[in-house]
Amino acid sequence: MSSAIEQRLSQLEALDAIRQLKSAYLSSCDAKDCQGFRDAFMDGAVDIDYGPIGCFDNADDLVAVFRQIACHPHMLEWHHASNPQIELLASDHARGHWSLQYQLINTQDNTLTQIGGEYVDEYRLTEAGWKISATRFAPRTTLVLALQDGQLNCPVMGSPPAAA
């Protein structure tokens, strides 16, 4: 094969591996799979900003919060990412933008939360494959519905306030 074809093939394989990484991460979130969740991130220093959930400089601290707030039988989550825009910045570095539609049914509180937003990720190629090195999630829309006394209430609806 020519070097141009090999380079194009390598780029296509990298893009596919990054899509698979993001898919595995989201599936791990929904399955409450803490190890799969952790495996999506690089070891060592990372830059994670999940807004109200927190900012983290290592994946292990994020996993501890994930375990504490999400890993319960009454928290039924569904993460659906779409519209990937992945840019290879170098052979071992990429950036990605993803739309996310998130749904949480909390059977303990009788609430349904839907959030639409955007992930902006950075990826690095490691010895273990592509990993997330930085990620930010910015919500765009939020809807919370609550069932109380047989009535459906909507305590939250709209978009988050603009950043100052």
Q: Which residue has the tokens 């928290």?
A: 75
Helices (H), the chain: 3-31, 34-39, 59-69
Residue range(s) defining the domain that contains residue 120 = 3-158
3-class DSSP state for residue 91? coil
Rounded-to-integer distance, Cα 103 and Cα 26, Å: 12
Give the confidence band of 5 by pLDDT, cuts at 50, 70, 90: very high
Q: What's the whole-model pTM score?
A: 0.90
Domain presence at residue 43:
yes
Q: What is the pLDDT of residue 151?
A: 81
Q: Which residue has the tokens 């993460």?
A: 79
Average pLDDT of span 133-154: 90
Domain presence at residue 99:
yes
Number of domains in the chain: 1
Q: Which candidate, 126, 107, 122, 134, places its Cα nearest to that of 48?
A: 134
CATH of the domain at 67: 3.10.450.50
Q: What is the pLDDT of residue 164?
A: 46
- Tell me the per-residue pLDDT of 56-98, one tens digit each, with 9 for 90 and over: 999 999 999 999 999 999 999 999 999 999 999 999 999 999 9
Average pLDDT of span 125-146: 96
Q: What is the pLDDT of residue 44?
A: 96
Domain presence at residue 164:
no
Domain presence at residue 163:
no
Is residue 104's pLDDT more than 60? yes
Helices (H), 32-156: 34-39, 59-69
